[in-house]
Chains A and B, each alone.
Chain A
Amino acid sequence: MASPLFADTSFVWFVALAVIAAGALIGFMLVSAIFSVWLERKVAGRIQDRLGPTRVGGKFGWLQTLADGMKLLIKEDIIPDAADHMLFRIGPYIALVGSFMGFLALPFGLGVVAMDMNVAVFFMLAAMSSEVFGIILIGYGSGSKWSLFGGMREAAQMVSYEIPMALCVIVPVVVAGSMNLSQIAIQQSGGLWNWYVFHDPFTFGAFWTYFTCAMASCKRAPFDLAEAESELVAGFHTEYSGFRWLAIFMAEYGSMVAVSGIASMMFLGGWSTGLPVEFATLFGGFETLQFTIGGTIVDLGMGFGNTINVIVFIFKCWFLVFIMMWVRWTLPRLRIDQVMMTCLKYLVPISCVLLMGVSLWQLLLPFWLNDVCRWLIFGLSILGLAWFLRTIVTFASSKPGEGMPGMWRTTGLPGYQGAKQTP
């Protein structure tokens, strides 16, 4: 942890840098949460054939989340009589800290990382697993049976889905040979075909399995019975209002962004755009753009290249969050026994098979066959994506009543044309 950079500069400088890094990460997490709440409401609206927020801050409701936040800040802070006061207060903050700790090891660009750890993936999974305790305290500390049910269900679900999630995360680690997220992202640079999702069929399967486990671990629908609005009032956060509720949801959206970050780092190439060029090293290294501050070299060209990298990475994270929301508003909720069955009977064996498969793939396959398979999977994925986009476009432009199977047609058919009019 003691890097040579800070060995001879002052204690104040170190604390200032740590505060700046933590502040940047918290800022990113909170801005992502604000944007995700707005996006959630818009996506939910559009999927449900309505518009979503349109009044606050212009035609698209950009400032809706800010208005919501201000409302929540000035709400009355209610603590139930039967609640354990200390645990009720401390629960949301444990969840928030657990969700935030994951961001410490997540690289946003080439060298843009708070702590460049050699065990970055392991640390992120471990840090985000401490969020479970916050959920348990929230559920228990509320002193009501709805919250306790929701909290227990949620804790069981989150802990169970950590197993297939960790197994799926090991699959690209086996391919990369390192748990260092910067190394994994660097190895995927140089073209869209280098991304690990196209590397072999087991990594391809691991991406989808990991995404499913990540959705379950973030208690997103169809695994959201912790919240279970139609069954448990509001689930484990029934008794929370105002800023404490906001902290719980910051933790949830923070976890969503963190697991999306892991997915884009390990499978979707990290900060690379897919073009066969690395922007940070392309613009960096020019003597005219460098100057030194207190012993360290600041390279403006590399900074500009890294800005592109950071923007691309954040866009990938938010795109995966959008997919999570899309799935949430499309699929119905699973029961608790279906959730546990999915984990224990389907996802764990699938993850084990994927892990064994990728290990054998790495050991036994000759090099030339590896390249052939990679190009094959890449080509099939591009074809699949093209077919998918074509289906969406043709469906969106079809006339009402034509696109959806089984819909009752009232025109253009022989036979029943409406009720017979009595003369």
Chain B
Amino acid sequence: MESFLFYVIAGVTGLCAIATVVTHNIVRAATWLLFTLTGTSAIFFLLGADLVGATQLLVYVGGTLVLVVFGVMLTAQGPFISMKTSSAEWAISATVGLVLLVVLVLGVMSLPQSGLRRPPSPDTADTDLVDKAMQTTNLNNNDAATAPYSAVIGEGFLGVPVGPPHIERPDGAPRVVRASYLLPFEIVSVHLLVVLIGAAYLARAKRRRGASS
């Protein structure tokens, strides 16, 4: 049942993404981009990630796209409304897109969660560790560190180890660890601060030096 819904949502999202690139009118391209991002948030909801899906709606659809459409709509005059891509541009962009697709698919397929990797051979495997590491779903909510509550994300940002476990193999005995997300949180906060300061600087009221009688 989920696969049927996934095919429908992913198909519509893909078609809208293609329409974004193919259409000649720039405001319509922004509208197709809206549907693409809404489709992405629908896939998040299908995966059970309610918080991420709602964040996608709030940030992308309600914020970023509104800004994009404002900018596009108010500055696109006459010759800039209609965009036509030449065939050389089509060739280059298709090649780059295909290369990116191949890289992403290979990267996703090599993760242990995708189930396509060959299981480790029995003589070097720590079977219970491998079992623990392969546990990435938490359907019965018996693991507090991967429960689907937003409080878990908040704790992860503050330094508590959360999320699915993975195997760490130092020189001594291998052990199962979880990651905490304090450092990425701090990096992103500083990044946001830099962006805010930059935006405030760029949008400041400039003093006019010329004589105005």
Residues of A within 8 A of B (CB): 1-2, 6, 11, 14, 84, 86-87, 90, 94, 117-119, 122-123, 125-127, 129-130, 132-133, 136-137, 140, 152, 155, 159, 162, 179
| With known contacts A129-B62, A130-B57, A130-B62, A123–B50 Cβ distance under 8 A | yes
Question: A1-B45, A90-B31 are known contacts. Are A11 and B62 too (CB-CB below 8 A)?
Answer: no
Tell me, in angstroms, the Cα distance from A84 to B24 when the chains sit together.
Answer: 13
Residue B15 at the A interface, CB < 8 A?
no
Residues of B bordering A, CB below 8 Å: 1-2, 4, 25, 27-28, 31, 34, 38, 45-48, 50-51, 53-55, 57-58, 61-63, 65-66, 69-70, 73-74, 148-150
Complex CA–CA separation, A122 to B62 (angstroms): 13
Q: Which residue of A lies closest to B4 (CB)?
A: A11
State A127–B73 Cα separation when bound (angstroms): 23
Residue among A2, A11, A133, A179 making CB contact with B65, cutoff 8 Å: A133
**In the bound complex, what is the Cα–Cα distance between A125 and B54 (angstroms)?**
9
A159 CB to nearest B CB, Å:
6
* In the complex, chain B residues whose CB is within 8 Å of the CB of A122: 51, 54-55, 58
Q: Looking across the interface, which residue of chain A has its beta carbon closest to that of B74?
A: A152
Q: Smallest Cβ distance from B86 to chain A, in angstroms?
A: 24
Report if A126-B31 is in contact (Cβ < 8 Å); known contacts: A2-B2, A179-B150: no
Residues of A within 8 A of B55 (CB): 122, 126
Measured between C-beta atoms, what is the minimum distance from B32 to chain A in Å? 10
CB-based closest 5 A-B pairs: A129-B62, A126-B58, A126-B57, A126-B54, A123-B54
- Chain B residue at minimum C-beta to C-beta distance from A123: B54
Instruction: Decide if B58 touches A136 in the complex (CB within 8 Å).
Output: no
* A140 CA to B51 CA, complexed, in Å: 32
Q: Is the CB of B58 within 8 A of A84?
A: no
Q: Which residues of A contact B28 (CB under 8 A)?
A: 84, 86-87
Expressed in whole angstroms, the Cα–Cα distance for A1 and B45 within the complex equals: 7
Q: Once the chains are docked, how many angstroms separate the CA of A126 from the CA of B51?
A: 10
Complex CA distance for A119 and B50, rounded to whole angstroms: 7
From A2, A90, A117, A155, contact of B50 by CB (8 A): A117
Contact yes or no, A2 B150, CB < 8 A:
no
A137-B31, A159-B66 given; A129·B61 CB < 8 A:
yes
CA distance A159 to B48 in the complex (A): 28
CA–CA, A133 and B54, complex, Å: 16
Cα A132 to Cα B61 in complex, Å, equals 9
Q: Which of A6, A94, A126, A152 contacts B1 (CB 8 A)?
A: A6
Distance between Cα atoms of A162 and B192 in the complex (Å): 20
- A sample of 22 cross-chain residue pairs with beta-carbon separation below 8 angstroms, ordered by A number, consists of A1-B46, A84-B25, A84-B28, A87-B28, A90-B31, A118-B150, A119-B50, A119-B51, A122-B51, A126-B54, A126-B57, A126-B61, A127-B57, A130-B62, A132-B62, A136-B70, A136-B73, A137-B31, A140-B73, A152-B70, A155-B66, A159-B63
**Residue among A84, A123, A130, A152 having the largest count of chain B Cβ atoms under 10 Å:** A130
Residues of B within 8 A of A2 (CB): 1-2, 48
Query: Contacts of A155 on B, CB cut-off 8 Å?
Result: 66, 70
Bound complex: CA A320 to CA B171 (Å): 66
Min CB distance A385 to B, Å, is 36
> Cβ of B58 and Cβ of A125 under 8 Å apart?
yes
CA of A69 to CA of B149 in the docked complex: distance in angstroms?
44
Other A-B contacts than A122-B55, A179-B150, 13 sampled, CB-CB below 8 A, are A86-B31, A94-B34, A118-B149, A119-B54, A123-B50, A126-B57, A130-B38, A130-B57, A133-B61, A133-B69, A136-B70, A152-B74, A159-B66
In the complex, chain B residues whose CB is within 8 Å of the CB of A11: 1, 4
Query: Which residues of chain A are within 8 angstroms of B25 by Cβ–Cβ distance?
Result: 84
> Which residues from chain A contact B65 at a C-beta distance below 8 Å?
133
> Please, which residues of chain A bring their CB within 8 A of the CB of B57?
123, 126-127, 129-130
What CA separation (Å) do A86 and B24 show in the bound complex? 13
